[in-house]
Amino acid sequence: MKKVAVFGNAGGGKSTLSKKLAAITNLPLYVLYHFSKILLYLIGWGSVGSVGGGGRGKSRNNLH
């Protein structure tokens, strides 16, 4: 099984690159950011509204 992991800074284009790579290689795309937000919600550290897409300039920290 082929796998690709994309890491980088916030706003660095990881999602854009990942979507293009998935389309070109026909590999499935798993966005771990969504899984981590769901996990934080399930253990009581996040809210349902915090599960969603990213995007530049949007706050993603609901742990306060």
Residues 37, 46: Cα–Cα separation, whole Å: 7
Cβ pair 45, 61 in contact under 8 A: no
Indicate if the pLDDT at residue 30 is higher than 50. yes
Instruction: Tell me the percentage of the chain whose pLDDT exceeds 70.
Output: 69
Residues 34, 50: Cα–Cα separation, whole Å: 9
* Amino acid (1-letter code) at residue 23: A
Nearest to 34 by CA among 12, 57, 18: 18
Residues 20, 13: Cα–Cα separation, whole Å: 11
Indicate if the pLDDT at residue 53 is higher than 60. no
Supply the pTM of this predicted model.
0.52
For residues 53 and 45, the model is more confident at 45
Indicate if the pLDDT at residue 43 is higher than 70. yes
